[in-house]
Amino acid sequence: MTEHSADRQSADRPLRIAIVGAGPAGIYAADALMKSDAEVSIDLYERMPAPFGLIRYGVAPDHPRIKGIVTALHKVLDKPQVRLLGNIDYGSDITLEDLRRFYDAVIFSTGANADRALPIQGIDLEGSFGAADFVSWYDGHPDVPRSWPLEAEKVAVLGVGNVALDVARVLAKTGDELLPTEIPPNVYAGLRANKALEVHVFGRRGPAQAKFTPLELRELDHSPNIEVIVDPEDIDYDEGSEAARRHSKQADMVCNTLEQWAIRDVGARPHKLFLHFFESPAEILGDEHGKVAGLRTERTALDGTGNVKGTGEFNTWDVQAVYRAVGYLSQNIAQLPFDDQAGTVPNEAGRVLADEHADGDGRYLPGTYVTGWIKRGPVGLIGHTKGDANETIACLLDDAPNFTPAPEPEPDAVTGWLESKGIPFTTWAGWYRLDAHERALGEPQGRERVKVVERDEMLAASEPHKR
């Protein structure tokens, strides 16, 4: 045991932990810490004035079942060992050196909110969008434009994951269908004026390799305005695909649903949503004005293993907008090493690896950890982050006896420092005030809430000057 750690333990105080990112991953990490035998005092830092990250700004508004996870997260943040400090931007408002002054260890759970690149010709044309940007718009994120161009009557969505289905469903539904949800007025106005009548979703591989979940898929067919159409020629399996169905109940359920849709007659619902398989995006076509005018795909075929190969046959699709939903990407975190290809902070079981430029000769950055998508990449469902959190917290607690103690660990020290810098940080009590404000906005319309978009209005409702 080092002299510093002996000093920390003799001080008989809780372990002070900062968690940067108050989405599900960060809150699950706080929960794992509080369920351990360690005495802990946790501050959750969040760039937005409100907590919950992906749940608030990454889940489609017509998914109240998923948003119900907020109830469980609420119970964690209600506990006295954890404190929310919102509206604080790591890297500008506070740095890693600042955090080390007030905490014994720091966990980063900043998630992934950018779009992974798709290197095909025409990707930069006007009318070519990233799904993450569109999701941020319809989820009322304060840092994106208030309007969205929805002039296209025929739209392509590239990808066969749940985000692709969310984007396709929101584009295909009417504004009035989504009005009972929490969407803010600017989003309702945009969706009500949406001209899309056809939405085409493209997957490079076959039905057995689709990444969406069965429930998410079936929900497409629940709208009275959306006719879901599957081409029977796209229902194809090889040995690898059949094995995938045998080993995954979810994959088998997805295939069964698609098979049923492929053999039924096309109905008369006004908006058509086509699910295409074995079509690999090759080029986005543009007109003389630099706007999207079509999509070119290469037909693919199964190779026996569940993977596909190109056939050399190409199809051209008449679309005026293209949304790529080919995966999220985490963004670089200041003062930490970063793997640009994987979009993660290099780590082992959540311990951040030191790069060649780091001071000292240790393998890990001392007292520095990651969890969630910044740790393992943006794959899996929200619940998978629990396992990430448990692994990271186990490592942190193993390392705790050797932490260099924070020079100013008192909880009031960091809030006093933030106040001295003039940062209007929000709190958990402030979230309750904002929550009540949003619910009051929805009440006259019979809605559960109306989400506030403007950051200034969020701050005013949260009353950051009050604890």
State the pLDDT at residue 255: 98
Please give the helix or strand (H or E) that residue 441 lies within, else none: helix 428-442
Report residue 232 as tokens. Answer: 């029977």
Please write the tens of the pLDDT for every residue from 22-35: 999 999 999 999 99
State the pLDDT at residue 379: 77
Please write the tens of the pLDDT for every residue from 280-325: 999 999 999 999 999 999 999 999 999 999 999 999 999 999 999 9
State the pLDDT at residue 247: 97
State the pLDDT at residue 7: 44
Comparing 189-203, 334-348, 353-367, 406-420, the range with the smallest average pLDDT is 353-367
Please write the tens of the pLDDT for every residue from 44-84: 999 999 999 989 999 999 987 777 788 999 999 999 999 99
pTM for the structure as a whole? 0.92
State the pLDDT at residue 127: 98
Tell me the pairing of strands 40-46 and 15-20. Answer: parallel
Angle at 197 between CA 161 and CA 192, to 5 degrees: 95
Q: Under DSSP, is residue 35 helix (H, G, I), strand (E, B) or coil?
A: helix
In the predicted model, is pLDDT for residue 9 greater than 50? no
> Rounded distance, CA 270 to CA 92, Å?
49
Overall fold of domain 119-328: FAD/NAD(P)-binding domain (3.50.50)
Please write the tens of the pLDDT for every residue from 74-115: 999 999 999 999 999 999 999 999 999 999 999 999 988 888
Percent of the chain whose pLDDT exceeds 90: 86
In the predicted model, is pLDDT for residue 3 greater than 60? no
DSSP at 234: G
DSSP at 291: B
In the predicted model, is pLDDT for residue 412 greater than 50? yes
> Rounded distance, CA 279 to CA 53, Å?
33
CATH number of 3-113+330-425: 3.40.50.720
State the pLDDT at residue 155: 98
Residues of CATH 3.50.50.60 domain(s) within the chain?
Answer: 119-328
State the pLDDT at residue 298: 98
Q: Across the strands, what pairs with 273?
A: 199, 228
State the pLDDT at residue 377: 87
Buried-exposed string 385-413: b where 16+ CB fall within 10 A, e elsewhere: bbebbbbbbebbbebbeebbbbeebeeee
Please write the tens of the pLDDT for every residue from 331-351: 889 999 999 888 899 999 999
Question: What would the mean pLDDT of 196-219 be, rounded to a whole number?
Answer: 96
State the pLDDT at residue 217: 96
Please write the tens of the pLDDT for every residue from 174-189: 999 999 999 999 999 9
Question: What would the mean pLDDT of 408-419 be, rounded to a whole number?
Answer: 97
> Rounded distance, CA 277 to CA 262, Å?
12
> Rounded distance, CA 427 to CA 311, Å?
57
CB atoms within 10 A of CB 112: 22
> Rounded distance, CA 225 to CA 217, Å?
16
> Rounded distance, CA 395 to CA 403, Å?
12
**Which residue's entry shows tokens 């600042």?**
98
State the pLDDT at residue 233: 97
Residues of CATH 3.40.50.720 domain(s) within the chain?
Answer: 3-113+330-425
Local confidence band at 134 (pLDDT 50, 70, 90 cut-offs) = very high
For residues 328 and 116, is the Cβ–Cβ distance under 8 A?
Answer: yes
What sign has the CA pseudo-torsion 309, 304, 328, 321?
positive
Average pLDDT, rounded, for the chain: 93
In the predicted model, is pLDDT for residue 328 greater than 90? no
Q: Across the strands, what pairs with 298?
A: 280, 314
In the predicted model, is pLDDT for residue 421 greater than 70? yes
State the pLDDT at residue 114: 86
**Which residue's entry shows tokens 């269908």?**
177
Question: What would the mean pLDDT of 183-202 be, rounded to a whole number?
Answer: 98
Local confidence band at 359 (pLDDT 50, 70, 90 cut-offs) = low
For residues 419 and 452, is the Cβ–Cβ distance under 8 A?
Answer: no
In the predicted model, is pLDDT for residue 10 greater than 50? no
State the pLDDT at residue 310: 97
Local confidence band at 361 (pLDDT 50, 70, 90 cut-offs) = low
